[in-house]
Structure 1
Amino acid sequence: MNNINFFNNTGQEVKFSFLEKPPASSMTEAFIYVNAANEHMVIKNGERLTKSEYRIGKYRTVYKINMQSKTYHYSREVQSASKGRDFNVDLGVDLYVHDPRQLVEQKAFEIGRLVENYLPHWVETNALRYHIEEANLFHQFIEDFFTVSPLISALDGVGVSVRSPRVMIRQSQHERALDKDDYGKDRGYDQLIAHANRIRHFIEHGDLLTAIMLAESNPPAVKMVEAQIQKEESLQLEMNAHLHRLATDSNVDQIEAREQMEKLQILFPSLKAGSQQAQMRKPASSSDILDDIYESNRIKG
């Protein structure tokens, strides 16, 4: 939780006698002495108020200022301009006092609370200007804010500077889940294509039994191959040639061959149509040609 406060006290009465030394400041704590005329004396970096300065200035109040840098951190999922899509914004900045006199003169006791209240509202309001795919633009917008903005000017006016802004905009848990789901779908589609390619490979190489086994286990892949058969006449002819060899191979059990052919034609209806078309386009055999010549000569006498 952020707790940005540079005041170690809100002003206390100066109490030390002439017999003792005033307290020494340090690199991490500065003293601001104030008198009735509202004159300020800054004591820092290990120095201390001298007795003569105390006597002449008649300082009655001392403010102790923490000179160490303070870190503001903001991490939250915020709504983007894309409905239902969130940015995960992680923001960190360091604040430090460069002029403790100004901090006391302006009585900026609530400057830390200003930062803590303003920045979340600013981030969440401006996130609505950017769509989820514009994360880089939103990132740059936040970085630019810490260069020139009303908040930076207000802080500078009370002696506080901002340095080392750190901005990270990541996917929200919801976005990561969506991406994971999309990735799963992509992987599933890639696997489907790979399965279809394997079926086609075995068909093209005449391993019809393996092709059938693969096809029966993945109907979506079968649809892909069927679509390819419909589009590619050369693939139809090649597959029908394999079927023809299967049917005429004396080394193959014809019952098994018939079962394979029937399964393939059920799985891939285009094969049956292609087979019929090929049969219609089939050129005359040599015996058919001899018969035609004989019949022609007989008629001529």
Structure 2
Amino acid sequence: MSNHRESTIENMSLQEEKPKRIGMHLSTAGGVFTAAGRAQAMGANTFQIFSSSPRMWRPAKLSADHCDQMKKLRVEYDCEPLVIHASYLINLCSQSEDVRRNSIAAFRGEVERALALGAEYLVLHPGSWKGLSREQGLELAAESIQGAIARVPWQSCNFRILIENTAGAEFSLGGSFDQVGELILRLESVAPVGVCLDTCHTHVAGYDLVSAEGYEPTIAQIAAVIGLDNIKVWHMNDAKAPRGSKLDRHEHIGEGTIGLEPFRRILNDDRFSHCAFIAETPVDEEGDQERDLLALKSLAARKVPV
């Protein structure tokens, strides 16, 4: 009994000491694997990349050597998870059959590249249902994702597609927690899915992460319609625009309308201890990414407001 208790305490201690995973969206200039070195150099232990140009339909071809180097470097640097962000062009609930067909093919390519790189997560904006009903948009998005992953051997991999909430623009699927939750429900039996929450998107969509009084009701709503265990990644972005504006404009940590305290609160919320925290803040000057990363790491180490 004593040995069991000591083992349990030791395991709990190891879990408590497990470092928070905090990183940035990084460039892949010079080869996709170079992002791992950039993460290591700036002190990040997780990172996000594009596996191909986010604004071109024609995909990049990844060499097997570059994929192997990425896997090797991530092990060497203890850098996980690897998060890939899907192309901005993909619209899996478009009313246009041509756009939807191209989007399905492009998303399938995203999944294949993610698996080749050994990525744990692939973040997706489902798209716009303009010209359709909300219900039709949800149905098309779910069908398109299922079609894109058909016959792709993801089952044996530690891999999930993460639906990201959006800034709440009209017709943008994922602009509310309800829509994200509904899409997860439609997909969970046929695809490896989870959720990525963006602080800027959440804020400008009208949810309150900023005030101490509003934070808990917001988290309770996330828990009710999405499930906290489904949240795998937080995109940690301050916002240039005010709450409820529906304008997706990212700002440096602590310099926007969200401010520092909400980031400290999220980073130190035990309900999100399983998550990776990745910033997609602007690069206006040399050293901006390092400064934003340091801000997040400092807030994660600070348990009480200052």
Q: TM-score range by the shorter chain?
A: under 0.3
Question: TM-score if structure 1 supplies the norm length?
Answer: 0.20
Look at both structures and tell me which one has the larger radius of gyration over its CA atoms. 1
More helix by share: 1
